[in-house]
Each structure stands twice: as C-alpha cells, then as structure tokens.
Amino acid sequence: MEETWELKPKIEALLIASDRPVTIQALAQCLSVGEVEVDAALQEFEADLLSADRGIQLRRRPHGVRIETKPQFADLIGRLLPERKAKPITSQALETLAIVALKQPVSTGDINAIRGIESAGTVQTLRNRKLIARSPRLGPRRERIWRTTQLFLDTFGLASLDELYKEGRMEEVFASVYSGELSAEAGTAPSNNGVTGHIEQVRQEVGGQARNSR
C-alpha cells in the first residue's frame, strides 16, 4: 500500500499527460491501488492546489477529474497563446445559452417564445462554438431540440448543471449579462422585460417544476 504523498505526484503526472478527464477507477487501476486511496490522495492534492502560489487546480467533472489552469490566469495565457484566447460572447448569445442550460432539452421555437425574438442565428452560433448540441431525439412536434455540452461546463467552470441553481451561481456564470444590464439601468435593478428577466423567468419556472415533482 502506497502512502498518499507517494501517490500525489504520480496522479499529477497522469492528469497532466491526459487531454481529458480521468476516472478514479482508471487511476486506481493504473496505480494498482484501491479507489479509496486514490480519492484520499486527490482530496489532499486538491487542497494543495488551492494555495495562491499555484496556477493550476483540480476539477471534478461528471466523467472524471482533470487538472486545469485557474480562471484568473485566462488573460495571461491568451497573451502567450492567442489561439486559445476565448472569443467574447454577446449578451444575446449568453441569454440564449442560459435558457438552454436551464430548460434543456429545448427547441428553437421555445427559445423564440421566451426571448420574444427570432433566435435561430444565435442558436447556430452557439452550436458552431460547440457550447450546445442537438439532442439525439426530436421534440414532440418532431423539431430539433438543444442541450448544453461538456465544453459548456468546462468553459464556465461547472462540475454539473446543478451548480446553476446554487445561490448566486447564475449571476457569477453569466456575470457580463447581469452586470451589463445593471449598468444600463444606471445602478437600478434590471427590468423583468430585459435579458436577466428572461433568464430569471426560466429559472423560476424550472425550479418550480422541480419542487412540484418531489
């Protein structure tokens, strides 16, 4: 049985070498140890990386764990590697993305109804950026329906969609939408007819359905 301090550098090497999340089971098999030992080493390694003098972090994803750079260094990395610099997303695209994330699977027609405007072009833009994808099945009227992708979770630092329902998480993930609308209102609360109003409408609707299903 290996000690935790012996496992941590090995796990770090494996995660850095991998270009995708690695399951605890796969790590345990590779290291010839139990999953409990791997999880204990991961927890200690994760705590180590929280230090301010580290530029990477451990993230637990639905399909495993991976090492990522910390979000505060995104601009710095973009200066060195311009091709990796994230292109800005418009508030209209973010609004549509938020609706898909909260209400998925959802059709373009339903998105149009919520936003009150034609959204096919915005949906296509999000699809091209691989933030959303077509669901394998069709909607009740045989229309295309959309869902978010793993890249969406990775881009916004989410472990799962459930995080969007945590207090203040929506405002953090879609900060530019919320802060932009507040600025437009000169410091007053955003109108329910604005972008954030549409997002909050869907969040309350979906949250109510979840409560009623319990």
Q: What is the average per-residue pLDDT within 148-175?
A: 85
146 vs 159, which has greater pLDDT? 146
Residue 29: both structure tokens together: 């098999």
Average the pLDDT over 185-211 and give the result.
Answer: 57
* CA dist., res. 177 & res. 208, Å (int): 23
pLDDT the model gives residue 180: 56
Whether 206 and 162 have beta carbons less than 8 Å apart is answered as: no
Instruction: Determine the pLDDT at residue 10.
Output: 97
Instruction: List, for residues 20-57, the tens digit of each pLDDT value.
Output: 899 999 999 999 999 999 999 999 999 999 999 999 99
pLDDT given at position 27: 98
Contact (CB, 8 A) for 165 and 202: no
Which range of 68-72, 191-195, 199-203 scores highest in mean pLDDT? It is 68-72
- Residue 189's pLDDT is 43
- pLDDT given at position 105: 92
Confidence of residue 147 (pLDDT cuts 50, 70, 90): very high
Q: What is the average per-residue pLDDT within 89-104? A: 91
pLDDT of residue 181 exceeding 90: no
According to the 3-state scheme, what is the secondary structure of the chain? CCCHHHHHHHHHHHHHHCCCCECHHHHHHHHCCCHHHHHHHHHHHHHHHCCCCCCEEEEEECCEEEEEECHHHHHHHHHHCHHHCCCCCCHHHHHHHHHHHHHCCEEHHHHHHHHCCCCHHHHHHHHHCCCEEECCCCCCCCCCEEEECHHHHHHCCCCCHHHHHCCCHHHHHCHHHHHHHHHHCCCCCCCCCCHHHHHHHHHHHHHHHHHHCC
How far is the C-alpha of 100 from the C-alpha of 95, rounded, in Å? 9
Buried residues in 113-132 as b, exposed as e (16+ CB within 10 A):
ebbeeebeebbebbeebebb
Q: What is the structure's pLDDT at 136?
A: 87
pLDDT in the model for residue 210: 47
Instruction: Quote the percentage of the chain above a pLDDT of 90.
Output: 51
pLDDT of residue 196: 63
Does 188 have pLDDT greater than 60? no
